[in-house]
Structure 1
């Protein structure tokens, strides 16, 4: 449901969280903890505040946020159990139209990545096509765990910004 910045700035914590809680996958705490920082001058200021909240969270809470994201083209996608946002995002990258060979490649890459890092591979699917995602998976699996943790948070910020743009309408 679209909302305006002024309505968010005037909303109570419950309404603010209800409007923005989905921006960070299954982690409404980001919106809830950002609410006291109102008012926000514009969408960029709101997004920056949300990201500061995420970055200031304890590492275990950040890890839970990362782990809340589904595998790309994974079991939940195959069973049509993704959030509406994740479904649209994965579809925008063509992940809902994979050949058997591509699906096998994604499954292999997801499994290898999760075995190495203990969390799913995260990339802003709306900004990438399936070939670029597979290439990034093959490259990033060679990164250090700390680099990947930081990269995952950065990708989550991109995802949240696009989701915010979807929900925010002009005053």
Structure 2
């Protein structure tokens, strides 16, 4: 049996639509409509094909729709983390990046950059926390806050794809 995931791709393909939508409803943060759209593309030959279907969903969105996707993401080490109100996936990802145990100074620095970034772009800074640690996150936000809005929408969506792919991998056995 493969490691990672809880279902085989055959089991994923056999799910009722409602079950699929429930299971995959947060692989893109707070975006159950993505799962609904992707469910209609079944059957998938591989886990990678399922991941590509979610990538394609994001790629076909208009710019304003991509902004909405980004707006649904929580701030890193923000108020929702402090209050325990993140989705289970986001809470786990931020903990793995060490964002739940920042020093007072690190928390303030990230908070300042989060505010500056959100003020400029009208959506929170999105980065795949499971692929990064605090220092790389701080470096990335410091660099990316200087980008254009168009560039940040594109970079943010690429990060959403990384997050989605990892979350799908948590649910579906990897391909052999």
Task: Tell me if TM exceeds 0.5.
Answer: yes
Q: Distance in 1 between matches of 2:143 and 2:74?
A: 20
Does the Cα contact within 8 Å between 2:98 and 2:133 map onto a contact in 1? yes
Does the Cα contact within 8 Å between 1:109 and 1:138 map onto a contact in 2? yes
Q: Greater RCO between the two (CA within 8 Å, min separation 6)?
A: 2
Report the number of matched residues.
171
Indicate the residue corresponding to 2:76 in structure 1: 72
1:127 equivalenced with 2:131 (yes/no): yes
Indicate the residue corresponding to 1:167 in structure 2: 171
Task: Pick the aligned partner of 1:21 from 1, 21, 25.
Answer: 25
Residues 65-144 of structure 1 aligned to structure 2 (within 5 Å): 65-144=69-148
Q: Distance in 1 between matches of 2:59 and 2:89?
A: 22
Q: TM-score, normalised on structure 1? A: 0.95
Does the Cα contact within 8 Å between 2:80 and 2:86 map onto a contact in 1? yes
Deviation of 1:51 after TM superposition, in Å, equals 1.2
Does the Cα contact within 8 Å between 1:3 and 1:19 map onto a contact in 2? no
Q: Distance in 1 between matches of 2:90 and 2:118?
A: 19
Greater Cα shift, 82-91 or 48-57? 48-57
Indicate the residue corresponding to 1:42 in structure 2: 46
Q: Distance in 2 between matches of 1:93 and 1:170?
A: 23
Show structure 2 runs of 5+ residues with no match.
none
> Which digits, 9 at most, give the CA deviation of each residue in 1:42-89, with x for residues without a partner?
111100011111221233322211111000000101111101110110
Indicate the residue corresponding to 1:8 in structure 2: 12
Task: Pick the aligned partner of 1:153 from 146, 151, 157.
Answer: 157
Deviation of 1:19 after TM superposition, in Å, equals 1.2
Q: TM-score, normalised on structure 2? A: 0.93
Deviation of 1:129 after TM superposition, in Å, equals 0.6
Q: Distance in 2 between matches of 1:56 and 1:160?
A: 16
Indicate the residue corresponding to 1:54 in structure 2: 58
Q: Distance in 2 between matches of 1:170 and 1:136?
A: 29
